[in-house]
Homo-oligomer: A and B are copies of this chain.
Amino acid sequence: MTTAAPDGRRERKKLATRAALRQAALRLALRDGVENVTAERIADEADIARRTFFNYFSSKEEAVLATAALGAEAVVARFRARPAAESVLTALREAVLEVMDRDDVAGHEHVAVLRLIRRAPSLLPQQLSVLAAQERALAAAITERLDGPDDAYVRLCATTAFAALRVVLDRWLERADDAAPPIDVLRAEVTDAFTTLAGGLDR
> Which A residues have a C-beta under 8 Å from some C-beta of B?
87-90, 124-126, 128-129, 131-132, 146, 149, 151-153, 155-157, 159-164, 166-168, 171, 189, 192-194, 196-203
Q: Do B157 and A164 have beta carbons less than 8 Å apart? A: no
B159 adjacent to A167 (CB under 8 Å): yes
Question: How many monomers of this chain does the complex have?
Answer: 2
A203 to B154, CA, bound (A): 11
Contact of A155 among B132, B146, B171 (CB under 8 A): B171
Asked whether, in the complex, the Cβ of B124 is within 8 Å of the Cβ of A87, the reply is no
The answer on a CB contact under 8 Å between B202 and A156 is no
Residue in contact with A200 in the complex, picked from B125, B166, B198, CB distance below 8 Å? B198
Q: Which residue of the partner chain, among B129, B156, B193, B197, contacts A124 with CB atoms under 8 Å?
A: B129
A88, A155, A164, A201 — which one has the most chain B CB atoms within 10 A of its CB? Answer: A201
A201 and B125 contact, Cβ closer than 8 Å, known pairs A156-B193, A189-B152, A196-B156: no
Cβ of A162: which chain B residues have Cβ within 8 Å of it? 163
Smallest CB separation, A65 vs chain B (Å): 10
- Residues in chain B near residue A152, CB distance under 8 A: 167, 171, 189, 192-193
A200 to B124 Cα, complex, angstroms = 29
Q: Given the complex, which residues of B lie within 8 Å of A89, measured CB to CB? A: 201-202
In the complex the two chains form, what is the Cα distance from A196 to B88 in whole Å? 15
Give A164 to B160 CA distance when docked, in angstroms: 6
For the complex, give the distance between the alpha carbons of A196 and B160 in Å: 11
Q: In the bound complex, do residue B203 and residue A146 qualify as a contact, i.e. CB atoms below 8 Å apart?
A: yes
Asked if A201 and B157 make an inter-chain contact with CB atoms under 8 angstroms apart, the answer reads: yes
Complexed CA–CA distance, A88 and B196 (Å)? 15
In the bound complex, CA of A161 to CA of B201 (Å): 9
Q: How far is the CB of A127 from chain B (nearest CB, A)?
A: 8
CB contact between A160 and one of B125, B129, B201 (< 8 Å): that residue: B201
> CB-CB < 8 A to A149: which residues of B?
203
Nearest residue (CB) in B for A128 is B128
> Within the assembled complex, what's the spacing in Å between the Cα atoms of A32 and B87?
47
